[in-house]
Amino acid sequence: MKIEVLRLNHRIARDVRVSTHVALTSRALGASRIYYSGQKDNSFETSVNKITEKFGGPFEILFEKNDIELIKGKKRDGFTIIHLTVYGKDFREFEKTKNRNLFVVVGGEKVEPEFYKLADFNLSVTNQPISEVSALGIFLYEICGYREDFKNYKLKVIGSEKAKLLKKL
Q: For residue 2, with 0-12 CB atoms within 10 Å meaning exposed, 13-18 middle and 19 or more buried, which class applies?
A: middle
User: Could you tell me the residue range of the domain that residue 7 belongs to?
Assistant: 3-168
Q: What is the pLDDT of residue 20?
A: 96
Mean of pLDDT values over 108-123 = 92
What pTM did the predictor assign? 0.94
CA dihedral sign, ordered 109, 95, 2, 119: negative
Q: What angle do CA 24, 141, 36 make, to 5 degrees?
A: 35
Q: Does residue 158 carry a pLDDT above 90?
A: no
Q: Give the ranges where the chain is alpha helix by DSSP (H).
A: 12-28, 42-55, 67-76, 113-118, 132-144
Name residue 10's beta-bridge partners: 38
Per-residue pLDDT band for 109 (boundaries 50, 70, 90) equals confident
CATH assignment at residue 73: 3.40.1280.10
Mean of pLDDT values over 149-153 = 88
